[in-house]
């Protein structure tokens, strides 16, 4: 019973979808003929992740461990 209802709703949607797309395309062509600008959504700037001071120290320590070659070359000074 439930699958029949979902199937009928899906079938009706598939039958109506070409008309909706045609209507949207026709409106787009009309606005292009009139010279109206097409609406463009503004791009959002990606947010930079904010790292706490404690996390920054941990990352620096792990970076120092990774760069360690027996000398202090390439080591960052970490203040407690």
pLDDT tens series, the chain, 80 aa? 899 999 999 999 999 999 999 999 998 888 878 877 767 788 888 888 888 889 989 998 898 888 888 777 777 777 77
Which residues, 6+ apart, have CB-to-CB distance to 28 below 8 Å?
Answer: 38
Domain ranges within the chain, ordered by starting residue:
2-67
Q: Is 57 exposed, middle or buried (0-12, 13-18, 19+ CB in 10 A)?
A: middle
What is the predicted pLDDT for the residue at 37? 73
Radius of gyration of the chain (CA): 29
């Amino acid at each position: 019973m439930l699958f029949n209802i979902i199937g009928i709703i899906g079938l009706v949607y598939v039958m109506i979808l070409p008309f909706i797309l045609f209507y949207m395309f026709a409106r787009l062509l009309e606005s292009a003929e009139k010279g109206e600008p097409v609406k463009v959504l503004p791009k959002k700037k990606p947010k930079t992740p904010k790292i706490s001071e404690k996390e920054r120290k941990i990352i620096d320590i792990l970076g120092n461990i990774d760069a360690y070659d027996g000398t202090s070359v390439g080591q960052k000074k970490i203040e407690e």
